[in-house]
Structures are given as C-alpha cells and as structure tokens.
Structure 1
Amino acid sequence: MSTEPSSQAVTAGFLNTDWNPRDVPAGTRTTNVVLRTADGAATGGSLYQPATPSDTVVCVMHPREFMACHYLIPDLVAAGYAAWSQSPRSVGNDLRLEHEIALHDVATGLAHLKRQGFRRILLLGNSGGAGLYALYIQQASLAPQARIAKTPGGKPTQLAELDMPQADGLVLVGPHPGQGALLQGCIDPSVTDENNPLSVDPALDALNPANGYLPKGQARYTAEFIERYRAAQRERVARIEAQARQLIQTRLQARRRVKEAAGAALSEDRRIAAHTPIINVWRTDGDLRCLDLSLDPSERRPGSLWGGDPYASNYGAVGFARQCTPESWLSTWSSLSSNATLAKTAVDITQPTLVIEYTGDQACFPSDVQAIVDRLGAADKTHHRVRGDHHGRALTPDEEPGRYVAARILAAWLHARFPLTN
C-alpha cells in the first residue's frame, strides 16, 4: 500500500499538459440505453467510448444521483478508457432506497457492459457511490447462496439468483464511510421530540454558546461534551430504528390478519396492510467537526455540504435522510442496520484500489478516509490527498481545481495497472 500526500509525482511528462477538457473529447461516441433489471425495474446508462474504442470501462454510479455529467468522465475518455454512467432506478429520491435492491441496478449495468465485449470493468465510487460499489463488490465475490438474503427491513433481495459480474478494480473519490455512518456523525442529538423539529435539549445543543459554540468554525467543544454528544447521537439513531421496526411489524401483522381472514378481513387491517408509512427525520446537519475545525483537522471551510449557516442547514428542509420509509431507513441511513458501510465491506475488497481524498472535504473527514484505507483488503491500494472540496473544486480562487489533479492521478493509476491494449 502506498500513500501520496501530494500529486507532484504524477504531473510530469504528458500528464502535465492541459489534456482534460470539460466536455468529452472530439470523436467520442456516446450511447444511451434503457435496461430492465432482474426484479423488473427500469434503469439506464450512458456509455462514452473514445475515438479508438477501449476494452476497459470505468463505471460511475451513485445510489440516488444522476451521474451522466460527472466531472471525471471527460478525463477518463481523454485517457483512452471507456466510461459508463449508471442511473439508479429512482434518480434524486432516496425515499425508498434500499441498497440491497440497488445492487440489481449495478448488476444489470455491468452485465450489459459484458455483453458489449468489455474485457475489464472498474468501478468508481464518488461520495455515496463508494458505499454502494463496495457492497456490490463484496456480494459479487460471494457464492450466490452466501449473499444477503433479506434487506434489513425483511424484503427478499433475490441476490442469490442474480448475475453479478466481478469488477477488476475500484476507485474511491471523496468517499465517506457509508450513508448510515455519515448520518451517525451529523444527526442532531438535541432533538427531544421527533414530532417537533424545533424541540431542543440545551445541554446537547451544539449551537449553544454554553457548550462551546462560536460562529465561523471557531467553536471549541470539551472532550466531555463531545462524548455526551456522540452517545446521544447513537441513542437518537436507535430511537428512530425502533420506530422503523415497529412500523414494519405493525404492517406485517395487519397483512397476516388480512390473509387469514380472506374476504372477511376488516377494512382497517386492509388499510394498514396497504399503507407505506413515511418517517420524517429533522435536524441532520449537526456534525461537530463542521463547527469546531480543530476536530479531525483538515483544510475544510466552516460549515457543511449544505452551507455555512448551521441554523439554515440544520433546521431547513434540505438534508440527509429527511424523509424515509422504514425500510430505507434501515438499509440506507441506519448506522445500526445498514449493510452499505465500508466498515463491513472494505475488508472483502481485494481488487487494486485507488483512494483519492480531498483535503477540504466537508463530508469525508481525514480519520474516516484513513479508516477506509486501513480496512481495505486489497494488497494493492493507493491513497492520494488532493487539495479541493467535496466536489473537487478549488479551495482558493488562484489555484487549480482539485478535480483536475484527481483526473491526472486517476489516469496515471489506470495506465500503470490497466494499460491500454488497443
């Protein structure tokens, strides 16, 4: 395993030229397809082939985001590799996202690429895509009957019957440890009533000056407060967990009663059996590291992905896990139940792996990224740190965006381990 604190070693020779355009290179052939998954859902993808077709393709996917415009696609094609942007079955909406079911989308895309004749397939997980692709690699490496049989909410996964092509390599860019682990760190534990988003326990309020809060990243929290805060975060996740499981159990009991009663079933049971409850999770932007920059220090700015005003980002409508079904909470956002966490999957990744960490990232913190690197089971793993924010943008107006540096690192790594054969 090698760790590179800077990118200077890969800026020599042809890599030092301005070869990565913001649009795909001239001559790129783009093909858009709609695919049907094994469980009957629709998904799609866009394939970008260089003017000289490649037998190696790098796939980009996020469990809920549209990735056809991902900033690294033009650079991949310019380096001579095909790029595949996979769309999830529900773009922009994680209300019903269950990661085990999302593996059907990944598998369908990779099977399509195999049919197109690609000899080598690599996966590029950016941000939340890291957890999805790591879970896919883990499950694809298992014998079919050893794969996860049911989602945390109890739904059959059908993974044992699924064709899951193997990946040849993995790239993680700005990876966080999984959406459940991410939420564990940023959920606000001062909420005292889940039905009242304005309820606050002052003793656990990170925005209370008595607890150490100051604006603009100048907050300083004591070790005692941090310990209480993090314990209360785990307790709040556990409370929502219990609510989710109770809602599922109530619906299952009603379904059993309807089945047993057949035509004589009570209308109330029919309503409960058919209903999909929604859990509103308010105040999920309270990571102390976004307020106290001395914690897990990096080059990040004060504030989170959602902005610099912690009141607006924590109390507003936009945020992680804002609305979930009980099933999506358990599979995606629960640190207690989610399978899509690098803590569970990284050890099973044995393919060559490149990790690119942005030093000003406001969602993926240094200790979390290092833990991912340490857990990876791959003998060949490389870790680069690049100046940039979570999206690879420049930290200052007068410097090159980190995404350009990341593209050069990625190209050099690909050429070294997966050289072009055409």
Structure 2
Amino acid sequence: MTSSVRLGADRHFPARPIPDTAVSSLHELTTADGAKVTGVLRTIPGARTVVCLMHPRQDFTHHVLVPELLARGMAVWTQGTRSVNNDLNLLHEQAVLDMAAGQVFLRNSPFDHVVTLGHSGGGTLAALYHQQSGLPPGRRISRTPAGRPVDLAGADLPVPDAAVFMAPHLGQGVLLERLIDPSVTHETDPLSVDPELDPYSAANGFADAPQSSTYTPEFVAHYRAAQRARIERIDAHARELAAEATAARQRFKRSADVADRRRALAPRIITVYRTDADLRGTDQTLDANERPYGSLFGSRPDLINYGLLGFGRLSTPEAWLSTWSAVSTHADFLRCAPGIGAPTLLVELTGDQAAFPPDSAAMMKSFGSGDATHRSVRGLHFGGPLSPGEPAGSSLAADVIGAWTAERFPLAD
C-alpha cells in the first residue's frame, strides 16, 4: 500500500444530457413557517406526471436521474431544504414543511400526478412526508425530539400519488449507528481507541485493503452493541445541552435578562469523530451483495474514518436528536413506511454500500401500500455502473421507474 492511493469514492460518472426539448424554471417558495426554499422544475412537452427528487442535506438540482426521467416522458421537480449543503442545524421536522411547500406548488401546477422519488437519505425524508401527510392533522408530529414546537398540524401537506425509492437507506440515524466507531474512548480525542473494539485491528479480524476482513459473530455483536451505547451517550449529552438552552430561553422570557438571552443563543456544537467504520465496508461477507470493498466515502475506510469526511461530524444538539440519533429521530424508514398508502416502488442497487439486502427485505415488509413492488438492478449506491463498460445503475433504475410509472399513470399527452 502507498500513501498515493486515492481515498475518495467515485460518485461522478458520465450522465445522459438534458433533452433539448426540456424547459427549466426556478421557483422560490415560502414554507408554512415562513422559511424560503427553492426548486427547479424541468418539463417536456406533454408531460402529465411530475417526479419530485429531494434530499434533506444535498442539492439534487443536477441529480443523475433528472435527464433519465425527462427522457422517459416525465417532468422533474428538484428541491432543496432550508438546510441544503449545510446540515449543521438540519431538523427533519422542518424538512417536512420544506417538502410540503414543493408539494403544494406541484399540486397547483398543470400536472395530473405527483410522484415522490427518494434516493439515499431522500428516501427516509419522503417516507416521513408520506407518513405525516396521511395522518389527521391532530396526530402529526408537534415537536422535534429536542422539544421545539413544529406546526405540521397547521400546514397543508398534499398526499402524493405514488412513492418511488432508489437505493434508500434506513435513515440518517440508523445509517450512522452502523457507521459510528465505538472504539472511541474520549469524545474530544479523535485518536483515542479501545483496542478490543478497534475495527481496523488485525487482532479483531481486520485485513489490509483490499482483502476482505473476517470478523467473528461474537465481535460483530459486541461491536454493534457498543455502537448503540455510543449513540446513547451522545444522545444524553445532546439532551443536556438542549435543556440548558431551553431553560435559558424560558428565563429570558420571564426576566428579559440579556445574559439569559446570550446563554440561549450561544451555539452548542456536538463534534462526533470517526463515523466511517461500518464493518460491512471491510468484511464483504456481512449482509453480502455485489458491492466493492470500501465505504460510501472511498476505498480505504480505515483511513477515511480518521479524516474530515463522514456523516454527523458536526451538529447542534437539536440536529443530532432530529437527524443523526437512531434512538431519537422521527426519520426512521421502517417506522414511517407503514404510513405510505400510495403505490410504492423500491429499486434496489445490487452493489449498494449503504442499503443492504436485509434492509430492502425489511422495507418491503413495512410498506403500508397494497401496491408495493421490489426490483433490483446492477449498480452502485450513487447510480454508477457496477463494473466498467456496464450501463449505469441510474439508467437501469430509470427504465424500471419509467415502466412502473407508465403502468399506473399516463406519462404524456
């Protein structure tokens, strides 16, 4: 091994161009709680069905599926949340309000059918939206896990006509629970290691890349229990910090003391080191599929784990509890999916490094829709080809999505 090995994942690959007949328009929307969000509508002549692509954290404006869906006769709406590309304070409950603004806009547009398409973390946001939009207003979420009021009951949440998922994982929090390194012994020291839990120690079954590691069932069970315990410890810290800020706000309301106002405003940032340590990234026999060695972030998780990249590295206490905590978040795919009553399509990518075969099986069992379809295509998590020279997974998925949607809704005049 040499230090010159490229660490990053191959997320970018040649995509189909936007059709010449497509017309694009930019729209600024106001959410029910007064936030501003933007979306891009791309349509083609005669399109009657519009597909909504949205992610809680990322900008999907140029998502690889956009030209693929346009080429198959569908209009495409890509929208950001108020926290796009800056998830320091990402609250999924607010992201539902952001998505609702887009759904209201699309219902007032000249389309007959609105279909949500959740890719990766966008899948759980879409599932949460479907769940909440299908509930009577009085049963909707009224507070974030940290206790902040959120008025989903008073918002217009149009119910989409169908739900499509491509390579959805089980939620940011559930994903992080499998990625977080439980061998960290001191949360303020990124190099602290408990050797009995170190996933990158040969004594625990690790083999140098790209050879697959071999972890024993006993180590896997011990490791996963320790991952859960670390999440619970960070949860407890987050709740303590959130409670301090809440108490300061309440004191300020009573006293108008500027010192309390400062305490309420002072940022409390949680730093979480080493979050690229999923055992499945290095032991390819665990939840086996056709994935290559490595993680979503690259081919050397044993190094990337110690770097800057990774999920949930910096967040406010509220954002941790709302988005990154498998214990506290409302955005849990398997808890939300029973609330999806619309026709549902799940497209699994056989080389996925974030959503694994057991996850897809659990999702299919959890859907509340009586019309739920599962299809598998060869490809990587971000839609790239599984092997050089093969079609992109995104293109194969678009074939499935286009055919499935056309069976249910006329795509064009």
* Unpaired runs of at least 5, structure 2: 1-13
Partner residue of 2:135?
Answer: 142
Partner residue of 2:9?
Answer: none
Partner residue of 1:288?
Answer: 279
The reply to whether residue 279 of structure 1 matches residue 270 of structure 2 is yes
Structure 1 SS opposite 2:369: coil
Partner residue of 2:11?
Answer: none
Match of 1:77 among 66, 70, 73: 70
The reply to whether residue 179 of structure 1 matches residue 153 of structure 2 is no
The reply to whether residue 348 of structure 1 matches residue 342 of structure 2 is no
The reply to whether residue 90 of structure 1 matches residue 83 of structure 2 is yes
For residues 338 and 256 of structure 1, what CA distance do their matches in structure 2 show? 24
Structure 2 SS opposite 1:420: coil
Per-residue CA deviation, residues 111-138 of structure 1 (Å, 9 max, x unaligned), is 1111123221100000000010100000
Partner residue of 1:416?
Answer: 407
Number of paired residues?
A: 399
Match of 2:20 among 19, 26, 32: 26
Partner residue of 1:103?
Answer: 96
Which runs of 4 or more aligned residues in structure 1 lie more than 3 Å from their structure 2 counterparts after TM superposition? none
1:364-375 matches, within 5 Å, as: 364-375=355-366
Match of 2:368 among 358, 377, 380: 377
- How far the C-alpha of 1:21 sits from its partner, in A, is 7.4
Identity in percent: 48
Partner residue of 1:302?
Answer: 293
The reply to whether residue 400 of structure 1 matches residue 394 of structure 2 is no
For residues 266 and 405 of structure 1, what CA distance do their matches in structure 2 show? 59
* Unpaired runs of at least 5, structure 1: 1-19
Match of 1:51 among 39, 45, 48: 45
Q: Which amino acid aligns with 1:118?
A: F
Which segment drifts farther, 195-204 or 385-394? 385-394
Q: Please tell me whether the aligned partners of residues 217 and 290 of structure 1 are also in contact (alpha carbons under 8 angstroms).
A: no
Provide closer, same or farther for how the CA distance between residues 266 and 410 of structure 1 changes in structure 2, counting only shifts above 3 A: closer
Q: Please tell me whether the aligned partners of residues 56 and 125 of structure 2 are also in contact (alpha carbons under 8 angstroms).
A: yes
Per-residue CA deviation, residues 48-77 of structure 1 (Å, 9 max, x unaligned), is 11122x232110000011111111111212
| TM-score, normalization by structure 2 | 0.94
| TM-score, normalization by structure 1 | 0.92
Q: Please tell me whether the aligned partners of residues 190 and 273 of structure 2 are also in contact (alpha carbons under 8 angstroms).
A: yes
For residues 233 and 57 of structure 2, what CA distance do their matches in structure 1 show? 25
Partner residue of 2:207?
Answer: 214
Structure 2 SS opposite 1:315: coil
* C-alpha RMSD over aligned residues: 1.4
For residues 379 and 173 of structure 2, what CA distance do their matches in structure 1 show? 24
- How far the C-alpha of 1:421 sits from its partner, in A, is 5.7
Match of 2:380 among 358, 379, 389: 389
For residues 359 and 273 of structure 2, what CA distance do their matches in structure 1 show? 24
Match of 2:235 among 209, 233, 241: 241
Partner residue of 1:159?
Answer: 152
Provide closer, same or farther for how the CA distance between residues 197 and 85 of structure 1 changes in structure 2, counting only shifts above 3 A: same
Match of 2:59 among 63, 66, 70: 66
Match of 1:259 among 236, 253, 273: 253
Partner residue of 1:201?
Answer: 194
Per-residue CA deviation, residues 275-297 of structure 1 (Å, 9 max, x unaligned), is 12100011011111111101111
